[in-house]
Amino acid sequence: MVKVTVLGAAGGIGQPLSLLLRLNKNITELSLFDIVNANGVATDLSHIPTEQIIHGFVPKSRKDVSQLRAALQGADIVVIPAGVPRKPGMTRNDLFKINASIVRGLVHQAGVVCPDAFICVISNPVNSTVPIAVEELKSLGVYNPAKVFGVTTLDNLRLEEFLSTAIKGATGKIVDSADLRGDVISIGGHSGTTIVPILNAWARNLSSEKYDALLHRVQYGGDEVVKAKQGRGSATLSMATAGYRFVSSLSAALREGKTVQEVAFVNFAQLPGSVPDSVKAHVEYLSLPFSLNAQGVQFVRFPTISANEEKLLAVAVGQLRQEIARGVNFVNKPKL
C-alpha cells in the first residue's frame, strides 16, 4: 500500500500532478489538500475508474489544522507544491516571504502526523524551502536525511529536452531525450546560476556558442515560461510531469521494493556517498544523483565533471550558501 498526499493540490501544478498520480497503479491512496477547492479536484478525479482510494481535504477555518492532519494520516509520500508562483520580473527568492511560512507550517504537520514519510518540496525558492523543511523536522526530532527532497527534476527534463534539440540543430543527429536520462544531469540548486548541467561526452556535439546557449536555456528555463505566461504563473504542466517522474520513482521503490536512481536537492552531509571534501567544505545541500530504496537515499553519487563544469559549480556553491543559510535562519532565528 502506498499513500501519497499532495499539499497545494488545487493549484496549477497540484491539479495535473494529482491527475497523473491518480493513474499510477503503485499508489493505492491519494489524499489531496489545499486551502481551496481540494474537494472539487478529488471529486473530479474520483470519476476516473481506478482501484485507488481518493479524498479531498480543505480547512474549515483559517486556524483549522484537523483537515491537514487528516490528509497526512498514514502518508508514505508528501508532495508540496503549495505556495505562490512567480510573475514576470520576480526572482524565486522574491517568493520567500510568503512561501517560507507556508512550507514550514505544512512540514511541521507532516513531521507530527507522518514522521516516516518521504517529503518532496516543490515550492520555491527550493534552495531555501528545503533547508526550512529540514530545520523544522530537526526541531521536532524526526528528521531523516534519507527522506527529504527538493524536487529539481524539471531541471533534468529541460536539460534532456533542450540538449536533444541542440544536438539535432548542431549535427542533424536525432537523440531521443529519453536516452539522455541519467546520462546528463543537472546538479547544484534550482535557480539560475545554481543550476549546473553535466553533459558528459554529449558536450562534444556542441560548439562553444551552442553550449553557452544551452547552458543559459537550462539555467533560465523557468524565466522562459514565466515570460511566456505573461503574469499567469510559472511552469505547471512540465512541473507536474517532473514531479510525477520523481514521485513515481519513490512509489516504485516503496511498492515494488525496487532500488531506483534519482536526482534531487538533498542534505547530503549525513548520507553515504562520494561528495568531495572540497564541496562539503562549503555546502551541505546539493541536487545530486542517488540510489534510493524504500528506506530512502542509500548512496549519493557525485558525478564526474569537466573543468568548465567545476567552475560553474564553484559559482553555484557560492550562491547556494546564502540561499541555504536564509532557509536555516528562518527556522532557527532567535524568538524575541
Ligand X SMILES: O=C(O)C[C@H](O)C(=O)O
Ligand Y SMILES: NC(=O)c1ccc[n+]([C@@H]2O[C@H](COP(=O)([O-])OP(=O)(O)OC[C@H]3O[C@@H](n4cnc5c(N)ncnc54)[C@H](O)[C@@H]3O)[C@@H](O)[C@H]2O)c1
Contact in structure between 147 and 118 (CB atoms under 8 Å): yes
173 phi-psi bin (left φ>0, alpha ψ -120 to 50, beta other): beta
- Cα angle: 328, vertex 269, 93; to 5 degrees: 35
| Residue selected from 126, 148, 198, 252 as contacting ligand Y according to rule CB under 6 A | 126
**What is the C-alpha separation between 41 and 294, in angstroms, rounded?**
29
Closer CB to ligand Y, 66 or 171, in the complex = 66
Between the alpha carbon of residue 322 and those of residues 57, 199, 306, 316, the distances in Å are 36, 26, 25, 10
85 near ligand Y (CB under 6 A): yes
Closer CB to ligand Y, 198 or 203, in the complex = 198
316 is in an annotated binding site: no
* Chain residues 259-298 in contact with ligand X, contact rule CB under 6 A: none
Closer CB to ligand X, 189 or 296, in the complex = 189
92 near ligand X (CB under 6 A): yes
The contact mask relative to ligand X for 137-176 (x = CB under 6 A, - = no) is -----------------x----------------------
Contact in structure between 143 and 134 (CB atoms under 8 Å): yes
Contacts of residue 204, defined as CB under 8 A and 6 or more positions apart, other chains included, come to none
226 binds, among ligand Y, ligand X, none (CB under 5 to 8 A by kind): ligand X
Closer CB to ligand Y, 114 or 122, in the complex = 122
The contact mask relative to ligand Y for 4-33 (x = CB under 6 A, - = no) is ---xx-xxxxx------------------x
Active site residues per annotation: 190
Where on the chain is the footprint of ligand X (CB under 6 A)? 85-86, 92, 124, 154, 221-222, 225-226, 234-235
